[in-house]
Amino acid sequence: MVSITISSRTTDIKSAQGIGSAVILPIYAIIGMQIGGLFLLNTTYLLIACLILIALCPVFLRLAIKVFDREHILTNWKYK
């Protein structure tokens, strides 16, 4: 949802992809720390993360619906 909201405000595809990859970077960092053994994901951490995401998803959905403008994307994006 965050990636969709941010990319709908950009003016070209490359910047939308760059911002989208920056949004996903913390997820990759968590996976890397898990593989590296810096911490262990157990049921407590996963339950806390799920509760936080359940609370934030409706907020981000409302924001994405409010910000998304199909006409802006179709008329103002530059395809290079």
The pLDDT tens digits of the residues spanning 1-49 come to 777 777 777 777 788 788 888 888 888 998 899 899 887 888 998 899 8
User: In which band, very low, low, confident or very high, does the pLDDT at 67 lie, cut at 50, 70 and 90?
Assistant: confident
Averaged pLDDT, 62-74: 75
pTM of the model: 0.57
What letter would DSSP give residue 37? T
Which pLDDT score is estimated for 76? 66
Q: What's the number of domains the chain is made of?
A: 1
Give residue 37's domain range: 2-76
DSSP assigned state of 76: H
Q: Determine the Cα–Cα distance for residues 17 and 10; give it in Å rounded to an integer.
A: 10
- The per-residue pLDDT for 54 is 94
